């Protein structure tokens, strides 16, 4: 739960706003974004990584309001598409505070990024180096680039496996020599300024040793580029991926300890090699916005289903589902849920919170003990839905994507409005009537 969430007489309040009142005003389902919590986590990252630049990873969740908070809190912004870049631009994020990611940025996206003068473009392939070089030539501008490298560290959800995972689409492999070759090519192109290396080992990482292994490998390449290409790069980015607790079973490691460790590794290795210490940066997304949001749903139907062996599972259907949170279906992710609109003394029953979509895998919360007297109209809230829920939401079954409602000091404001049927129909052009035009 976000830091201001508390229950008063069974009613969940976030940011001083009762969710019963919030739903009365804004409807359900709704994402509830706790502004104080978001800002607090952004500040905590800045404090823990005081000598780093902290880039908020917009892919976790981005809207104009959040982009403004990011700037106000002194963070930088990582975008990974022309769409995210457009939000950053609209929010007035200074271009030099933007990092632009992506393994297949289009010519149009690269052109826009160079025109705006974004602070760094993280290049991911030889084709992109060519494409970006052409853009800078055409525009007569210089682009500052980082090379995305594959450190050979595989980050699973709760673990990492060293030396694995070359076999994926991102980055230049260190071990094959591609990353070194990329540095050679970039340093020979007039319009490109080689700023540094970038490594992102995965997401929802609990064990910080993966970051440390990656940092050592990236540093070794950093030193090799200095020796063999003759460029001492001023920056190094160690990516995002800091895990959060989705349920009480989860116990992520403390990123502030990691900050100290990584600084130590980089400083010591650079000293040993007589190299200037590069400016470090990180890119947390989930760890800032994940806990800052919850989703509130209305219960529509409740059904007891007998399982093999005689046990009973209560299926609680809510007015959202996999269209507003695909993570359970896609990653088998764990979430929790609570009755948010009243207190109940009824014995808790093993329950599954499911959505209203046309498939059995449409599960929001796999297993939760919820009061046995749930009825239609009750509100159920699911915490930890800030990251990769609204940003991965879909219109499956022509569902209308829920709004993002910001709560703070007892007041609520809409940051992303609820989709309407008109929004859906606006894109739906009747081609049948155009045939033969
Ligand atoms: N930097 C880069 C280059 C990334 O690719 C990512 C995430 C991040 C930073 C931020 O990672 P975070 O701190 O949020 O873990 N949809 C998945 C997560 C995909 C993450 C993709 N890249 C999920 O819902 O778990």
Torsion sign over Cα 215, 158, 99, 151: positive
As a whole number of angstroms, the distance between CA 281 and CA 365 comes to: 35
Torsion sign over Cα 96, 36, 33, 325: positive
pLDDT at 158 over 50: no
pLDDT at 373 over 50: yes
CA of 372 from ligand 1 middle (Å) equals 37
As a whole number of angstroms, the distance between CA 107 and CA 123 comes to: 13
Which ipTM value was assigned to this complex? Answer: 0.99
What count of other Cβ atoms lies within 10 Å of the Cβ of residue 125? 18
Give the model's pLDDT for residue 168: 85
Residue numbers belonging to the annotated binding site for substrate: 286, 327, 331, 359, 388
Which tens digits make up the pLDDT trace of 397-419?
A: 999 999 999 999 999 999 999 99
Contact 210, 153 (CB under 8 A): yes
CA of 65 from ligand 1 middle (Å) equals 20
Which tens digits make up the pLDDT trace of 52-62?
A: 999 999 999 99
Which tens digits make up the pLDDT trace of 163-176?
A: 447 888 999 999 99
Question: Which parts of 92-177 fold into alpha helices (H)?
Answer: 107-116, 126-139
Contact 412, 406 (CB under 8 A): yes
Does 60 contact ligand 1 (Cβ within 6 A)?
yes
Does 57 contact ligand 1 (Cβ within 6 A)?
yes
Which tens digits make up the pLDDT trace of 236-267?
A: 999 999 999 999 999 998 889 999 999 999 99
Does 241 contact ligand 1 (Cβ within 6 A)?
yes
Nearest Cα residue to atom 20 of ligand 1: 203
Map out the domains of the chain with their CATH numbers: 6-32+292-427 (2.40.37.10), 49-289 (3.20.20.10)
280: pLDDT confidence band, cut at 50, 70 and 90? Answer: very high
CA of 248 from ligand 1 middle (Å) equals 22
Give the model's pLDDT for residue 410: 98
Q: Token pair of 387, please?
A: 């990251």
Which tens digits make up the pLDDT trace of 102-141?
A: 999 999 999 999 999 999 999 999 999 999 999 999 999 9
Does 290 contact ligand 1 (Cβ within 6 A)?
no
- For residue 389, the ligand 1 atom closest to its alpha carbon is 24
Active site residue 270: no
Contact 206, 252 (CB under 8 A): yes
- For residue 283, the ligand 1 atom closest to its alpha carbon is 9
CA of 23 from ligand 1 middle (Å) equals 30
DSSP letter, residue 71: H
Give the model's pLDDT for residue 207: 85
Which tens digits make up the pLDDT trace of 207-232?
A: 888 999 999 999 999 999 999 999 99
């Amino acid at each position: 739960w976000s830091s201001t969430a508390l229950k008063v007489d069974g009613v969940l309040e976030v940011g001083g706003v009762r969710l019963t009142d919030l739903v009365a005003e804004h409807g359900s389902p709704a994402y509830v974004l706790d502004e104080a919590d978001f800002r607090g986590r952004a500040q905590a990252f800045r404090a823990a990584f005081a000598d780093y630049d902290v880039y908020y990873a917009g892919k976790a969740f981005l809207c104009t309001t959040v982009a403004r908070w990011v700037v106000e809190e002194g963070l930088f912004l990582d975008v990974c598409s022309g769409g995210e870049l457009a939000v950053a631009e609209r929010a007035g994020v200074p271009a030099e505070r933007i990092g632009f990611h992506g393994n297949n940025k289009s010519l149009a996206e690269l052109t826009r990024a160079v025109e705006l003068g974004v602070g760094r473009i993280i290049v991911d392939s030889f084709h992109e180096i060519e494409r970006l070089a052409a853009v800078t030539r055409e525009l007569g501008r210089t682009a500052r680039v980082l090379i995305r490298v594959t450190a050979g560290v595989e980050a699973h959800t709760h673990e990492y496996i060293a030396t694995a995972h070359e076999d994926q689409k991102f980055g230049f492999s260190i071990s094959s020599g591609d990353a070194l070759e990329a540095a050679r090519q970039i340093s020979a192109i007039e319009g490109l300024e080689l700023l540094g290396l970038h490594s992102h080992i995965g997401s929802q990482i609990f064990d910080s040793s993966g970051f440390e292994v990656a940092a050592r490998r990236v540093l070794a390449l950093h030193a090799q580029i200095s020796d063999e290409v003759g460029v001492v790069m001023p920056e190094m980015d160690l990516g995002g991926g800091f895990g959060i607790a989705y349920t009480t079973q989860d116990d992520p490691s403390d990123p502030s300890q990691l900050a100290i460790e990584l600084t130590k590794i980089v400083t010591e290795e650079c000293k040993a090699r007589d190299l200037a210490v590069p400016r470090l940066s990180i890119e947390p997304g989930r760890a800032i916005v994940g806990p800052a949001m919850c989703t509130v749903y209305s219960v529509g139907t409740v059904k007891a289903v007998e399982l093999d062996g005689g046990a009973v599972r209560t299926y609680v259907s809510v007015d959202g589902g996999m269209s507003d949170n695909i993570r359970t279906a896609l990653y088998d992710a764990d979430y929790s849920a609570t009755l948010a609109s009243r207190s109940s003394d009824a014995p808790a029953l093993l329950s599954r919170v499911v959505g209203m979509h046309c498939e059995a895998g449409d599960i929001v919360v796999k297993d939760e003990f919820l009061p046995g007297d749930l009825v239609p109209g009750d509100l159920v809230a699911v915490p930890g839905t800030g990251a990769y829920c609204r940003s991965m939401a879909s219109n499956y079954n022509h569902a209308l994507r829920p709004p993002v409602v910001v709560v703070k000091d007892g007041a609520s404001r809409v940051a992303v409005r609820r989709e309407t049927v008109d929004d859906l129909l606006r894109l739906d052009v009747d081609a049948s009537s155009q045939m033969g035009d």
